[in-house]
Amino acid sequence: KNHVCDHEAPISDEERVKLSPDIRDRMVKALEFKTISVEDGMEDIYSNEFVKFWHYIYEQYPRIFSSEDPDVQVDRIEFENGKETIVVIIEGTDRTLKPGLFISHADVVPAIRKEWTHDPFKPFVTEDFVQARGAYDCKSILMAQLEALHALLLNGEKPPRKTYFLFPHDEEVGGFGAQEAAKIFRERYNIQSDGFAFIIDEGMPPIRNGLPGVTKPLLTIGYTAKGYLTVELTVNYAKVGHASIPEKESSITILSDALSRINANPQPNQFGKSIEVEMMEGLVPYLPWTIKPVIANLWLFRPLVALAANFDKQMNAFFRTTSAITIFNAGYKSNVIPIQARAVVNHRIHPGQTISQVLEHLERVIDDDRVLITQEEGALEADKVTPRDSLYGRKIVHSLNRTIKDIIAIPGIFLAACDARWLQDFSDHIFRFYPFVMEKEDLPGIHGREEKLRWQSYEDGINFYLDFFRHMDENDLPPGHTEL
């Protein structure tokens, strides 16, 4: 089976929510709150922004947050400085079905004003898009889910199954909100292992012109996610003296050599060890004729395709564990040779590898006892893999096809990390994706500068969630529909 039915009849005009000025304004206003997560050890001056953000959200969606309806419940998990992770629970029409869980974090990464053309927290709005920090990652999902849920409830409808929404406050710095929520799900709501039918979180974006020859928006839904490992490399080289008579080596040269070796000797290629083969096969119908015969015949061209990792950074990220040198510091005065040099390397672990294998490779490649390797907290193995034929996966693709023009959605690997990793024990069916189409040039905006959300994509995404909320029961799709 390798057929994705991408020609579903779209939802009708009556079913479709239109992007009203009110919906736009709510999104724009939500982006003004500086719900910024800062790294440990830095001054956190933004906690009150979280308080104000949620106050605003509570006002805007009264059918959810100040409802008399016993089927609508809101739980607030309190953290330091008044920050809260929020849980919304909606009772479904069929109480025999397992609940579903949607996750979307409220925090954003910092943005440096001078790198942006407009203030990242004073949204720049055009006819086509809104530009601000968090416009995509992840207030897009949070706001679209609230819009869809509010519309559903105002229409007198309920989802077919009990539905949990988890809005954590700190996904960008460790996910303590999600970890605490996992405890509360177990202890307060009595949800056991495998207690959620499915979990849906942020993940890959659908990208137009994402691959050479593929012009339609291509979404690789994360059926698994890469693992996470950060290591600190430290060199303490005490043979220092006056800068006018330097030694041949210093902490800086030793560490630089080690980093060069890491760059020159990437972690081993894992093509074929997880679901990247199925991902490539899923792409076949959409590829241009120049590449199609190669990908359609992986039995023959597998080694050739694996080689793509050496030439293309995206293929590299899909096929192997990546190592990114993210911090380097040493030295404090121009004529003093420093004793210590320090660097940080962030790894995204392919599901075909484990943390200890990555560390072994690193030690072998560095091969220098003077470089001390320490593992930072928060490392996690790659996530488990959702079954390829999951009914919920097919239903997601069905709703995507009904609401987003021309989208191609196939199972794949999520290259980054999200809060769902803390809740894996609750479901075997975890999906990581954004339902908002972006242009290829928008991609660096995520965690970068000029982050954007396109209005048409926002409208489509709201409609995706609404359609999925209505159809997330256990009934199979009619034959011929959306076989992944």
Ligand X SMILES: CCCCCCCC/C=C\CCCCCCCC(=O)N[C@@H](CC(C)C)C(=O)O
171 is catalytic: yes
In the complex, minimum distance from the CB of residue 378 to ligand X, in angstroms, rounded to a whole number: 7
Q: Which residue is nearest to ligand X (CB)?
A: 416
Residue 257: count other Cβ atoms within 10 Å of its Cβ: 15
430: left (phi over 0), alpha (psi -120 to 50) or beta: beta
Which residue, among 205, 50, 72, 232, has the nearest Cα to 146 in the 3D structure? 72
Q: Outline where DSSP puts E strands in 184-280.
A: 198-204, 207-208, 218-225, 227-236
Distance CA(227)–CA(378), nearest Å, equals: 10
* Positions that interact with ligand X (CB under 6 A): 137, 172, 202, 204-205, 207, 210-211, 218, 220, 228, 314, 415-418, 446-447
Residue 221: count other Cβ atoms within 10 Å of its Cβ: 27
Which residue, among 465, 473, 475, has the nearest Cα to 160 in the 3D structure? 473
Radius of gyration of the CA atoms of the chain, in A:
24
In the complex, minimum distance from the CB of residue 377 to ligand X, in angstroms, rounded to a whole number: 11
Label each residue of 317-361 as H, E or C: HHHECEEEEEEEEECCCCCECCCEEEEEEEEEECCCCCHHHHHHH
Distance CA(66)–CA(82), nearest Å, equals: 20
Distance CA(424)–CA(428), nearest Å, equals: 7
Mutual angle of helices 391-403 and 455-471, in 10-degree steps: 140
Task: Decide the pairing of beta strands 218-225 and 408-414.
Answer: parallel
In the complex, minimum distance from the CB of residue 447 to ligand X, in angstroms, rounded to a whole number: 6
In the complex, minimum distance from the CB of residue 357 to ligand X, in angstroms, rounded to a whole number: 20
478 burial level (CB within 10 Å; 0-12, 13-18, 19+): exposed
Among the listed residues 84, 107, 450, 451, the single catalytic one is 107
In the complex, minimum distance from the CB of residue 228 to ligand X, in angstroms, rounded to a whole number: 6
Which lies closer to ligand X via its Cβ, residue 36 or residue 337? 36
107 is catalytic: yes
In the complex, minimum distance from the CB of residue 226 to ligand X, in angstroms, rounded to a whole number: 8
Among the listed residues 49, 147, 170, 171, the single catalytic one is 171
What positions carry a catalytic annotation? 107, 171
